[in-house]
Amino acid sequence: MTPITTLFRAPAAARAAKTLDRSLFSAILPAAAALVRDRTLLSRYQKELRRTRELLTGEKLRPIVEHPDPALARQGLRCMVLDPTVVQPSSPESWSSVLKEALKSGDLTLIPYDLKIDYTHWSHVDVLKAIMPEDLQDEIPSGFNSAGHVAHLNIRDQYLPYKHIIAQVIMDKNPHIRTVINKTDSVGSENEFRTFSYEVLAGPDDLQVEVKEGGCVFTFDYAKVYWNSKLSTEHGRIAALFKPGEVVADVMAGIGPFAVPAAKGGVFVWANDKNPESYKCLEAAVEKNKVSQFVKPFNHDGHQFIREAADLVLEASRRGDRAVIKPTVKVSRTSKAPPPKPTCVPVPPTISHFVMNLPASAIEFLHNFRGLYHGHEDLFEPHTETKLPVIHVHCFAPKPNNDAAVEEVVDRIEKEIGIRLKPGSAEVEGEAHFHEVRDVAPKKLMFCVEFRLPREVAFAPRD
């Protein structure tokens, strides 16, 4: 792949510009093209010149073009554009043996070719590198969160003078983006619902979006609920741990990125979020994705929800709550066989997993598990084959991911539940699995700590 910047550098006028002049990224470069004697040889030489890296390659750069002479082009003559950084027409010593032999045999003929470069050929990173001053080249804003048609930036102070041009380039290079916003405050412990203030940098102030993830559709106002497209892998990873027919308690469910896809797989989910707007969107997602038999939405405080969830599930099980799955097999009208019966999936009496995706403060909710199953020891091993629930608690930790970072998290968990866990496997009593979710900031990581609820905590007297 030939970087556009090796072919052509934008003029000095582009550097430190506050408005976007797309014409500065256009040029006509002298190059050479290889005219093929017989069009049946085109595919062969295209492969060979690509292997020798003499064929022009690059984003939106066409290596196979019509003959530059319009009259010959109308006759169907085509040629292969050669990379001007590799092939010098006046310097045969720069040619590969493949090119030399093809020219000697007459299969190929070199002709001059004007290679036209314009703004469309540049990646958004290369455009921004051409614009940013030399002292701002290290951490150019290149990534962004997205939700539907909205791109969400978090621009650092030193790049704020260029925020509008950054936004415009992102819109130009990402056709599905129609609105670009910049976060103007923090998300996390500073904001109870993980929403944020923002400014619109480009496009209309329209944050009503539709997102598809995990085979499900979510519709929401991005300004009123929390959504992070960078967590899609984590959503899928955890949902894959659930088994059909289990109950999962999603304590900070948001609009349902864990709950709704899991329910699609036949998992019962008690899904809670304190934000009334998230709760409304969760209810809408449950209906839209047709999983109302498997998801029960709640709009409670997370502390309260943890303390009540086990009792609510047990009551539902004893009531005989169930999901009734209609058969998907169509029976012919002429068939005399009786139609297949619906399948009934009963709600089990215990919760198998708790998900706590509020990394800024989720650990501070763990003390609520004390006494969760007090008086119900008979529901679990050794009285039955059922194990105590696995807790998936997300949290932040300082970089790097080393023993010190892990120990800090272990200390915080011990402070809440009174048990010190050892790094290891979530399936081993007294151990916890530490999964690094993603890089959040230069000095911050996001973890998911997974451990089975200790018996001393689950069966302790309730406060």
In terms of DSSP H, where are the helices of 351-436?
403-417
For 104, the token pair is 């000697």
CA–CA gap between residue 59 and residue 171 (Å, rounded) = 17
CA–CA gap between residue 107 and residue 99 (Å, rounded) = 10
The response to whether 439 counts as a known ligand-binding position is no
Three-class DSSP category at 125: helix
- Closest residue by Cα to residue 441 from 406, 400, 411: 400
Q: Which residues of 240-250 are buried (b: 16+ CB within 10 A; e: fewer)?
A: ebbeeebbbbb
Q: Is the dihedral of CA 8, 9, 11, 14 positive or negative?
A: positive
Residue 97 neighbours by CB under 8 Å, 6+ apart? none
**Helix (H), strand (E), coil (C) string for 35-97:** EECCHHHHHHHHHHHHHCCCECCCCCCCCEEECCCHHHHHCCCEEEEECCCCCCCCCHHHCCH
In the chain, what's the furthest Cα-to-Cα distance? 91
CA–CA gap between residue 295 and residue 283 (Å, rounded) = 9
The response to whether 301 counts as a known ligand-binding position is yes
171 in Cβ contact with 125 (< 8 Å)? no
CA–CA gap between residue 32 and residue 361 (Å, rounded) = 61
CA–CA gap between residue 67 and residue 73 (Å, rounded) = 5
DSSP assignments along 268-284, one per residue: EEEEE-S-HHHHHHHHH
The response to whether 357 counts as a known ligand-binding position is yes
Q: What phi and psi, each to the nearest 5 degrees, are found at residue 270?
A: -90, 105
153 in Cβ contact with 229 (< 8 Å)? no
The response to whether 152 counts as a known ligand-binding position is no
**What is the 3-state composition of the chain as percent helix, strand, coil, each rounded to the nearest 5?**
30, 25, 45
Residue ranges for the known binding site are 235, 301-302, 357
Residue ranges for the known binding site for S-adenosyl-L-methionine are 235, 301-302, 357
